[in-house]
Structure 1
């Protein structure tokens, strides 16, 4: 049995509770209010709702490039470097990135893995030696679903995905697709697939939002990557008013997969509350992938992040939720429990 004391950000509302989280055999068994001398802040470990970890072989290769030249299949800088990398190089690079994600408190990431079955298998191999989990949206032929946890389509304007959509439904696995990143023309076609997850939705308009709400489709947004690629700003406030919205960091070649950076950027530049941002970084992604984490509740998996509330950075904190979202960094991490 383990106990983690301090200020606990508990439940869906992240209510600050002074006390302890009791963990037994990897499961939260109790949250107890109690006086404690600990200044730690205990919160759910993050769920990164959209990544491209294969880009770990091409960090900063896209500097100065737009969307098409940087990451679009099949001839972008990213895809040329992926094609040139050996399996050993790819696995080693992804493993280093996964190590960073583990160190900075990410329990699980939802990854769009390129290169078909071989790509999915390479990420499985990389993740097998880290504590952070990989939820893999595979690519290529529908047979990738024998290995992957779901199917990840590049975009409705890139190709047709009828067979892959049908195969995912038959396998009872989620189908996800990029939509509304460069413009709005692929949003309705993406929604025609009745996906379990949309990525980006930067250019979503009222007609798209109404359809998203009607179909109940969650969305993963990646605001830092959108800014780097110059494609615009997702209407996060409007998206939140219509559906579940989760936070992702997108391509590793563009930004480090730091949920601290993504939260701070989102909280400071969009019309959202700090609690909404923390929920986007934890529970929302867990719900999308049906994961038993993302919230501190009795009976849940103990995927926890413990921050040093008395660090030089966090000392003097007035509101622990705002401190986590706006100020905390990987330097403040005291312990990651996965």
Structure 2
């Protein structure tokens, strides 16, 4: 007989960033068996700030073994399959090294408030198994999109395609649709040439979309396909910046940190960068880092509301960094960091 895991009841008190609008209310979050049972407004003596754990909507954790390798290389030289620097380093690494590197990145993600990531996982079925081994015993839940083979898709939560100019992904798209699994694809990172064929696949989401043409923006508007932005990555690889205002008017946007090789998988850093770079409100950016990514992955989390999964983080609102904040949502997005995290509830 399989026994259902029972979680002990828990109460969190402080300023709650409640609902999709992250309205700050003083009160208590009651958690029962891993679910938010109640969000109660009441006076407390706590300076804590309670908000959803982040959903990092685009990662490549495999290259955790190669942090800051290849400075000055172009995007193609860094990551283009099959012989970009990243792929050469992955082939040269042992399984133990790859698993340990990913485990360390998952642990770092947990310490910086991330509870879930959507991972484009190289290495076929073996790559999927490596990440599962890395995640064993760590509360961060990777939504794994296998790459390279339909077998990897069948062994994981879906398929993460490199780009429509790299190969014909019609078979993988049909397979994910038949299996009811996620299909995501990179598009518009270097130029617009792969955007139309990517949209023709009717993906569940696109990644990057730095260079859409006007007619492609219209197609995005019509399909409402969600887009995951990776602004720090786009700056590091010098491909440009996505037209965020135009995209935000047309569809749902989420945030991802992309390759660990070039950027730390910290959603605090990604949020601060996006908030200061683009004309987006703090609430929009926080939504991109939480519920929007969760909805792309089909997960019932990313918001503090009754009936939702209790995937939460608790920040110290009286830390030297956050004390005196006049707008707590803006402070969380633009200045909070790892040192402010008091507790992760996953």
* Shared fold per TM-score greater than 0.5: yes
Structure 1 window deviating more from structure 2 (90-99 vs 68-77): it is: 68-77
2:231 to 203, 216, 223: 223
Task: Identify unmatched segments of 5+ residues in structure 1.
Answer: none
TM score, norm. by length of structure 2: 0.96
Paired residue for 1:205? 213
1:146 CA displacement: 2.0
Alpha-carbon separation, structure 2, partners of 1:153 and 1:13: 33
- CA root-mean-square deviation: 0.8
Shift of residue 236 of structure 1?
1.4
- 2:251 is matched with 243
TM-score (norm 1): 0.99
Decide which of 291, 297, 307 is 1:299's aligned counterpart: 307
For 1:329 and 1:62, the matched residues in 2 are separated by 27
Instruction: Quote how far apart the aligned CAs of 1:145 are.
Output: 2.0
* Partner residue, 1:101: 109
Pairing of 1:73-112 with structure 2 (within 5 A): 73-112=81-120
Aligned to 2:76: 68
CA displacement at 1:76 relative to structure 2: 0.9
Aligned-partner Cα distance in 2 for 1:256–1:49: 14
Listed one character per residue, the Cα deviations across residues 73-97 of structure 1 (whole Å, up to 9, x for unaligned) are 1111111000111111100110010
Question: Counterparts of 1:81 and 1:129 in 2: how far apart (Å)?
Answer: 27
Matches of 2:115 and 2:255, distance apart in 1: 14
**Match in the other structure for 1:335:** 343
Per the alignment, residue 4 of structure 2 pairs with none
1-structure distance, mates of 2:143, 2:256: 13
Q: Counterparts of 2:36 and 2:70 in 1: how far apart (Å)?
A: 42
Tell me what 2:330 maps to.
Answer: 322
Distance 1:292 1:85 in 2: 36
Matched, 1:49 2:49: no
How far, CA to CA, are the matches of 1:216 and 1:267 in structure 2? 23
**Residues 117 and 140, structure 1, Cα contact 8 Å, conserved in 2:** no
Secondary structure, aligned partner of 2:292: helix
Q: 1:177, CA displacement in angstroms?
A: 0.5
Equivalent residues in 2 for 1:1-338 (5 A)? 1-338=9-346
**Cα deviations across residues 151-184 of structure 1 (Å, max 9, x unaligned)?**
0110001111111111111111111110000001
Give, in whole Å, the separation in 1 of the partners of 2:151 and 2:102. Answer: 23
Unpaired runs of 5+ residues, structure 2, are 1-8
Shift of 1:225: 0.2
Which residue number in structure 1 is paired with residue 3 of structure 2?
Answer: none
CA distance in 2, matches of 1:290, 1:229: 30
Q: Using the alignment, how far apart are the partners of 1:217 and 1:272 within structure 2?
A: 20
The number of equivalent residue pairs is 338
Runs of at least 4 residues off by over 2 Å: none
Deviations 1:260-296 (A, max 9, x none): 0000000001011110000000000000001111000
Corresponding residue number in structure 1 for 2:6: none
Distance in 1 (alpha carbons) for counterparts of 2:228 and 2:328: 25
Quote the Cα distance in structure 2 between the aligned partners of 1:20 and 1:205.
47
Give the Å deviation of 1:127.
Answer: 1.0
Q: Secondary structure at the match of 1:312?
A: coil
Q: For residues 164 and 214 of structure 1, what CA distance do their matches in structure 2 show?
A: 23
